[in-house]
Structure 1
Amino acid sequence: MDDPTNDVSSLIHALTRGSPSEQQTAIQTYFTSSASFSHPFCRTGSFEGSRYLILKIYQWYKILSPKIELEIHSVAFDPKSLVIFVSLTQLFTPFLAPIFANRVDLDVKLRLIQHRHTGKYYITSQTDLYTIDQWVRFLIPWGIGTAMVCFLQFLATLGCVLGAWVGAPITWARERMTGQGQGTGRLGEMRENGIGKTAGKATGAIEHEAEKVEELVEEARRAALQADDERAEATGLELYGKMQFVTT
């Protein structure tokens, strides 16, 4: 692929709606020889020649449902990690039992490598990502499977809530043992006594420090005045001595 964001849509259509020869051409052109494929119902692994298995999976897929309708909603390509995510919806209709047609949503994850000289991108792995309520539609159609899965998921959520209630004392005990709830220093004091009390103490401490500063300023002023007086007295004595020397 020269431009993965634009080319991946035509590739997906060729694999899902193309003839067997078109499928083969697409896989040989865009997949590496050791590419892997992963799906909730099948897996190939990665080894030399494994893309042959991918081709047969797509050909069997086309045999099961000769007419496949799909809609690509979004394509996201990360050039740094060389990964493409494609979000799509497909309508799978088994030709032996068309009444079991199912419309499912899935995300396709493609890992790429870039050729050093040509700059083209090739697929090294494909992973089809279905949520449980989607792939179960292939096994239990008409929305029955989806309803069963949703019911079980809601039960699991209730189990999480009950578990959180029952296990709360254990969590609190661990928090006390590790000291996470108390903190250290001023933060712990604020948590222990409340922000209001801590703020009151901080205000009192500031006022006390301000009083100390005022006392120091007053002492410094007095020392300066005393030093000036002593300096003036020394100067006067010196002048008086000079006058006595002159008169004599």
Structure 2
Amino acid sequence: MENPAQDIKHVLRTLTQGSPDAQHDVIYRYFAPGAVFEHPFCWVPSFKNVNVPRVGKIDSRVLIAAIYRWYKILSPKIEFELESCVYDERCSLLYLTIFQVFSLWFIPFHRAPVRLVTVLHLTPAPTTGDGTPPPPYDAAQEKRQAVLEGTEPSYAAVISGGASATPAHQPPQQQKKGEDNTSPPGSSAGGKPSASRPSSSSGSSSSPRPKRYVIAKQQDLYQVNECVKFVTLTSVVPIIVGFLQLLATVTCLIGATTLGPVMKAVRPAGGKEKA
């Protein structure tokens, strides 16, 4: 991802709603080898270059791909919405607020509308074999450029006898070198100013490619009342969980009111801070 805040929506939509092949391609493109996956119900540790007989070397992305594939099998139609996205460039963290509706296909009328916060730990993508390769050498393009600059005769001029062809025993590069030594700077062999030849590396030096990031770790964070919606078939259990949370809040209030004065008497406030 060259722009994580903009590219992540496409990545998440493909992971949750894409085909198996699209899921596989996205995981192996946007997840780093050895990526970690953390979820309340499953966990993938970091490992890579593990040799499996008759399979070859694998890494943790195999398990991450299996999780997303099974997730799509359980709920073929997933409603997904990215509500907010914040990118902490200094720490390379991407914070996402996601709302989704998970529905088990084998349970009629099952719907689990849940909201979660996903934290993506990003890392720069490996540069070896990852950047765009330089364009291949094009001899025809070089010949056309030389004809336009006047440093070499055109094919039509050679056929008509108006110019002599390049000697077979002297490579074009050597002939150009001799011309460059005898001609004044910025002019061709005929004395006419020649256009400066664009350098193949000028584009990369003047405008370097933006840094590309991949996901090194994914953390899916759910509230308890949101997490239980996956495993319950009715809306009663989330209500019970919410009631227990409210009861715990009342307990905190009673404890702070009754034991607060006692703790203040046992542990009086310290003296003034030293200058």
Query: TM-score normalized by structure 2?
Result: 0.63
1:29 maps to 29
C-alpha displacement of 1:24: 0.4
Considering fraction of residues, name the structure with more helix: 1
Corresponding residue of 1:18: 18
SS of residue matched to 2:45: coil
Match of 2:62 among 44, 52, 62: 52
What is aligned with 1:92?
Answer: 102
Task: Please say if residues 89 and 103 of structure 1, whose CA atoms lie closer than 8 Å, have aligned partners that are also in contact.
Answer: yes
Is the Cα contact below 8 Å between 1:139 and 1:145 reproduced in 2? no
Partner of 2:204 in structure 1? Answer: none
Output the CA distance in 2 between the equivalents of 1:184 and 1:112. Answer: 43
CA deviation map 1:66-97 (0-9, x unaligned): 11111111111011000001111101111111
Extract unaligned runs of 5+ from structure 2: 49-58, 132-210
Aligned to 2:231: 139
Where does residue 200 of structure 2 map in the other structure?
A: none
Runs of 5+ unmatched residues, structure 1: 186-248
* Higher mean C-alpha deviation, range 159-168 or range 12-21: 159-168
What letter matches 1:41 in structure 2? F
Residues 142-190 of structure 1: CA deviation (Å, up to 9, x unaligned): 32122111100111011111211232233212442xx43x6479xxxxx
Structure 2 counterpart of 1:172: 264
CA RMSD of aligned residues (A): 1.7
Provide runs of 4+ in structure 1 moved above 3 Å: 115-118, 182-185
For CA contacts below 8 A with separation 6 or more, give which structure has more relative contact order.
Answer: 2
CA-CA distance at 1:141 after TM superposition: 3.5
Q: Check if 1:126 corresponds to 2:218.
A: yes
Query: In 2, Cα distance between the equivalents of 1:29 and 1:12?
Result: 13
Q: Distance in 2 between matches of 1:67 and 1:165?
A: 49
Name 1:72's counterpart in structure 2: 82
Local SS of the residue matching 2:217: strand
Q: Which moved more, 1:147-156 or 1:163-172?
A: 163-172
Secondary structure at the counterpart of residue 218 of structure 2: strand
Contact 2:80 2:101 in 1 (8 A): yes
Whether the 8 Å contact between 2:32 and 2:125 is mirrored in structure 1 is no
Q: Is contact 1:17–1:68 with CA below 8 Å preserved after alignment?
A: yes
1:7 Cα offset (Å) = 0.3
The TM-score normalised by the length of structure 1 is: 0.69
- The aligned counterpart of 1:159 is 251
Larger radius of gyration: 1
More off after superposition, 32-41 vs 165-174: 165-174
Counterpart amino acid of residue 139 in structure 1: V
C-alpha contact (below 8 Å) 1:77/1:85 kept by paired residues: yes
How is 1:169-208 mapped onto 2 (pairs within 5 angstroms)? 169-176=261-268, 179-180=269-270, 183=272
Q: Of 71, 87, 109, which residue of structure 1 is paired with 2:119?
A: 109
Query: Mean Cα displacement is larger for which, 141-150 or 8-17?
Result: 141-150
Verify the 8 A CA contact 1:77 1:84 in the aligned structure 2: yes
Alpha-carbon distance between aligned partners in 2 of 1:23 and 1:139, rounded to the nearest angstrom: 25
Bigger mean CA offset, 116-125 vs 72-81 = 116-125
CA contact (8 A) 2:82 2:96 kept: yes
